[in-house]
Amino acid sequence: MADEKDRELLGDIPSPRRTDTLTERIERLRREIGKGDRVYTPGELSTLERQLEEYEHLLEILQYR
């Protein structure tokens, strides 16, 4: 189970009821990226890394404005 893809983060399935806080989403992305190429394709990892950068940037903006 730990080596399964998080389809919701990849945008493959909708998440009608799940709501992560910003920090929870960042941790979730880091955890999934940590699984690396044993679970994700290079393109999927790139997608997750791009999302992580965007959420980290948003958190930075919210913290320091």
Instruction: For residue range 23-63, list pLDDT tens digits in order.
Output: 999 999 999 999 999 999 999 999 999 999 999 999 999 99
Please state, in angstroms and as integers, the Cα–Cα distance from residue 3 to each residue in 6, 27, 48, following that order: 9, 16, 15
- Is 25 a member of any domain? yes
| First and final C-alpha spacing in the chain | 40
- Is 15 a member of any domain? no
- Is 7 a member of any domain? no
Structure-token pair, residue 13:
């399935």
Q: Chain centroid to CA 1: how far? A: 17
Domain that holds residue 44: 20-64
CB 33 within 8 A of CB 25: no
Count: domains in the chain: 1
- Is 5 a member of any domain? no
- Is 11 a member of any domain? no
- Is 10 a member of any domain? no
- Is 34 a member of any domain? yes
Instruction: Assign 2 a pLDDT band (cuts: 50, 70, 90).
Output: low
Q: Which of 8-12, 17-21, 27-31, 61-65 has the lowest mean pLDDT?
A: 17-21
pTM of the predicted protein model: 0.85
- What whole-number distance in Å separates Cα of residue 10 and Cα of residue 47? 7
